[in-house]
Amino acid sequence: MFDFDGVIDRRGTQSLKWDKYGDKDILPLWVADTDFQAAPAILEALHQRIDHGVFGYSRPSPRLIKLILERMHSLYGWQVEADWLLFMPGVVPGLNFACKAWCRPESSIISPTPVYYPFLNAPGYNERRISHLPMQLVADRWLPDFERLEQLAVDADLLLLCNPHNPGGTVFTRAELERIADIAERHEVTVCSDEIHCDLLLDKDARHIPFASLSAAAAQRSAVLMAPSKTFNIAGLCCSFAIIPNPTLRHKLQQSMRGLMADNNLLGFIAAEAAYAEGEEWLAAQLEYLRDNRDLLMRELGSLPGVKIAHIEATYLAWIDVSGLQLANPIASFEAGGVGLSPGAQFGDGNFIRLNFGCSRELLTEAIRRMKRVILARTND
């Protein structure tokens, strides 16, 4: 019913992902957007709005707000109030403002490491100290070192959480989140939970749990950041939102944003509304496709000598340990072999590369073929 196999040429369309390599024969599997066309319902809603032809300042429609509240209730049994919502053009600005608003200058911010790199930059950009919380492999899943978290929390005001985790792909269980919430509660740490990948659950038994929905206490010391951007491939339309039940935290964040945070884009609101109203079937089909892409990648690359990939529960990103290949510069080697990947060092661990498998099967198959050539040339040396 929906065509994820169709290859849409994104070259020369101001795509960050595709324009990086220009005319070079390098398949871009780096930055986290997919190559899929948005759901027909989204395209239809955008067309209609474009035809209206007036693009003045705008605000979210009451229907979009209602759809978000209903979504939180139907997916998570979480009763969110409209007042708790703050719209913003991106999750990353939200993370940065959170660093300023919810951490005193003399305190520190805990960030899992490795993690999506803006987490690592945000504390420093906002003149706060960062405390690195190591992520560890436990039974093939990337988890934070809970004992270390307990130590770091003594001296921290804020924890940045990434759930599902980018780049590890973990969907944290209720027990894991409760452990984090318990530590945060005892040490009075605010939790800013980036849940932008929450709809991209590949394992059929994985369940996303918004951090602030855990308990009344967790709600009072946390914020959840979400967006339709990754789920529906509309990141360029810049629409995201924070859910902040605690009025004091909300007020402090709003104060920190005054005069600095840009308004949302009208077309982002329109696309978000169509996505949440009519995008579910498309999303289910996309998840099937991404699941098959993940399985293909694991089958083809996961068992090669010198390469390790833990199980990916969510996201369309693979975090690949290539330390066994002993490449001086893994990114340069794979680029020379015709595949563009994200350097693990950017996320906090240079032994890894990150691969985005949100693309057509045909492109992924070719990228895997090229990567295998680089890997096997190395291991047959």
Contact set with ligand PLP (CB under 6 A): 32, 90-92, 116, 162, 166, 194, 196, 227, 229, 235, 240
354 — phi, psi (to 5°)? -115, 130
- DSSP code of residue 262: P
Please say which residue, 90 or 210, places its beta carbon nearer to ligand PLP: 90
Q: Helices H, strands E: what count in the chain?
A: 14, 14
Looking from the CA of 34 toward its CB, the CA atoms found within 13 Å total 29
Please say which residue, 233 or 240, places its beta carbon nearer to ligand PLP: 240
Please say which residue, 162 or 297, places its beta carbon nearer to ligand PLP: 162
Q: How far is the CB of 87 from ligand PLP (least distance, A)?
A: 11
Using left for φ > 0, alpha for ψ between -120 and 50, and beta otherwise, residue 380 falls in alpha
Give per-residue burial for 3-21: e unless 16+ CB within 10 Å, then b. ebeeeeebeeeebebbeeb
Quick one: which of 292, 293, 307 has its CA closest to 372?
307
73 — phi, psi (to 5°)? -75, -45
Q: How far is the CB of 237 from ligand PLP (least distance, A)?
A: 10
Q: How far is the CB of 116 from ligand PLP (least distance, A)?
A: 4
- DSSP code of residue 314: B
Q: How far is the CB of 226 from ligand PLP (least distance, A)?
A: 10
Q: How far is the CB of 165 from ligand PLP (least distance, A)?
A: 8
Q: How far is the CB of 347 from ligand PLP (least distance, A)?
A: 10
Please say which residue, 96 or 108, places its beta carbon nearer to ligand PLP: 96
- Rounded Cα–Cα distance for residues 183 and 173 (Å): 16
- DSSP code of residue 213: G
What is the rounded (10 degree) CA torsion for 140, 144, 146, 148? 120
Please say which residue, 157 or 194, places its beta carbon nearer to ligand PLP: 194
Please say which residue, 319 or 334, places its beta carbon nearer to ligand PLP: 319
- Rounded Cα–Cα distance for residues 35 and 324 (Å): 30
Which residue's Cβ lies closest to ligand PLP? Answer: 90
